[in-house]
Amino acid sequence: MTATTPVDTSSSTAFREASRRRTFAVISHPDAGKSTLTEALALHAKVISEAGAVHGKAGRRGVVSDWMEMEQSRGISITSAALQFAYGDAVINLLDTPGHADFSEDTYRVLSAVDCAVMLLDAAKGLEPQTLKLFDVCRHRGIPVITFINKWDRPGRDALDLCEEIKQRIDLEPMPLTWPVGEAGRFRGVLDRADGSFIRYTRTAGGATAAPEERIEPARALDEEGEDWTHAVESAELIDISGGEFDVAKFFDATGTPVLFGSGVLNFGVRHLLDLIVALAPRPTPRIGVDGTSRSLDAPFSGFVFKVQTGMDKAHRDQVAFARVCSGVFERGMVVTNATTGKPFATKYAQQVFGRERTTLDVAYPGDVIGLINASALRVGDTLHAGKPAVRFPGLPSFAPEHFAVAYPADLSRAKQFRKGVDQLAQEGVVQVLSSERRGDGTPVFGAVGPMQFEVAVHRLLAEFGCQVKLDHLPYKMVRKLGDPKQRATTNLGNRGEYFTRADGTELVVFTDQTALNVTLRLNEGFLLEPLVAGT
């Protein structure tokens, strides 16, 4: 669209465009194949013509972000942004969740901006720790989950066994829509449980192009696949008996998950996943403001900032705020109000950002993600809106930190800059800044979901505030919320733990390990500890 093309901002446009949107993220453990699957999805939607374009593994054409040297040297992506593409009449927004072992609070925050999640499992490994953490956030937020069991082209676990694990460990009803034909490692295709037919996949060279599919009647499938087909039919029947038929209500209330089997690298099962997302993933719905009223999709533009990133473009020390559109039509150039400060914000520089690629964005609808450049005035959790009525959405949740370190300026003459920098990082949610009586006045303790948040904080304090920072890592592993803050004065934790106060006033108690927690509870009868739920 050119600048001269008038944008249709009528309410029917907002509704129509919102109903085309499917906004989701992939939750997985590192190495389960998220980048490969992202490529495969883009390939099927014909965004790219050959796999290897988004992922950027060694030797492949890469568009993965390289905004920090740290990121480059590790070959990982810290940036969360969105890949948008059309698929049939639908518009897919795939939000990137940083997936390295050192993942951070940003990964969780992305989930506040999606309507659905795809849980990607490695067929040989099943549910892994990071997937479980991300799933907890989805559960807490009531986000419906589609499961894709990946890497079926190589030896792995039994399909029934994987379904049982989902049921037992996370209490989610597996509802397979397809069933693999050929055990893991000898993947021939899938039984489509909707009509009992066999979908046979054909390999393409290196999986670089979309895999051709052939739909085959059951009788011919039996003839051609023999025992593999019989085994698939029998296993699928077992699933029916154990109550695994598809029930859309269970998907929407997040008690059940449709399950698909496939191979991202071979592009097997990927079309099925895309079609399922289009058919099933919830469309954007009105978001509820802090006053309890919901903002209709056709109300004037509103959105919330779920991520702020500084220094993405080395040439210009810019700050990009990523916002999800919640209502109305966003047009580049419109002046919106930041509900937190009441100040206007001009959106002259709005972009779509994925990896290293940026394109100017002229118009966006509910469910879309906009990257606002030069956004130094915006913070994570801010609400932006145009026109009246004003709206403010709830601020972003914080998550239970799992790593703690005391931070000092290496050079005390930079103490003032250090304080300023720490305040800035806290506001942006780069790390949680905690205070502790034990550490003395003004000495902050950094709390993080993943240790990489510390690295980003140290890097930015040096690069932007000229402060070399020393970190003393603390040995705490368990965090709880103090049930009755008055008990703080009467309960001595000794060297088993420490009290911290979070910027939002939440009183935390941290312990070195489970034994330290148990001993404290034994020594202090009636000491009230509450779990710190992810996403509160």
CB contact at 8 A, 159 and 233:
no
136 is in an annotated binding site: no
Does residue 35 bind ligand G4P (CB under 6 A)? Answer: yes
Does residue 267 bind ligand G4P (CB under 6 A)? Answer: no
CB contact at 8 A, 474 and 501:
no
Q: Can you give the three-state secondary structure of 71-106, one letter per residue?
A: HHHHCCCCCCCEEEEEECCEEEEEECCCCCCCCCHH
* Closer of 30 and 395 to ligand G4P (Cβ): 30
DSSP 8-state code for residue 59: T
98 is in an annotated binding site: yes
Does residue 189 bind ligand G4P (CB under 6 A)? Answer: no
CA angle 396, 169, 401 (to 5 degrees): 30
* Closer of 82 and 445 to ligand G4P (Cβ): 82
Cross-sheet strand order for the sheet of 319-327: 343-346, 335-338, 383-385, 302-310, 319-327, 369-372, 350-354, 357-360
Does residue 125 bind ligand G4P (CB under 6 A)? Answer: no
Determine the Cα–Cα distance for residues 102 and 77; give it in Å rounded to an integer.
11
* Closer of 34 and 307 to ligand G4P (Cβ): 34
Does residue 272 bind ligand G4P (CB under 6 A)? Answer: no
- Choices 26-34, 133-141, 220-228, 447-455; region in contact with ligand G4P by CB under 6 A: 26-34
Does residue 178 bind ligand G4P (CB under 6 A)? Answer: no
100 is in an annotated binding site: yes
**What contacts 86, CB < 8 A, 6 or more positions away?**
45, 92
Does residue 450 bind ligand G4P (CB under 6 A)? Answer: no
Smallest gap from residue 57 Cβ to ligand G4P (A): 4
Give the chain's count of helices (H) and strands (E): 14, 31
Does residue 33 bind ligand G4P (CB under 6 A)? Answer: yes
In this structure, the number of other CB atoms found within 10 A of the CB of residue 32 comes to 27
Does residue 154 bind ligand G4P (CB under 6 A)? Answer: yes
Does residue 153 bind ligand G4P (CB under 6 A)? Answer: yes
Does residue 263 bind ligand G4P (CB under 6 A)? Answer: yes
DSSP 8-state code for residue 298: T
Smallest gap from residue 199 Cβ to ligand G4P (A): 16
Smallest gap from residue 33 Cβ to ligand G4P (A): 3
The sign of the CA dihedral 515, 520, 526, 530 is: negative
Determine the Cα–Cα distance for residues 2 and 363; give it in Å rounded to an integer.
10
Smallest gap from residue 526 Cβ to ligand G4P (A): 45
Within 44-63, which residues bind ligand G4P (CB under 6 A)?
A: 57
- Choices 28-36, 313-321, 431-439, 522-530; region in contact with ligand G4P by CB under 6 A: 28-36
Token pair of 218, please?
Answer: 């059951």
Chain positions contacting ligand G4P, by CB under 6 A: 28, 30-36, 57, 99, 150-151, 153-154, 263-265
Q: Which residues are annotated as a binding site for GTP?
A: 96-100
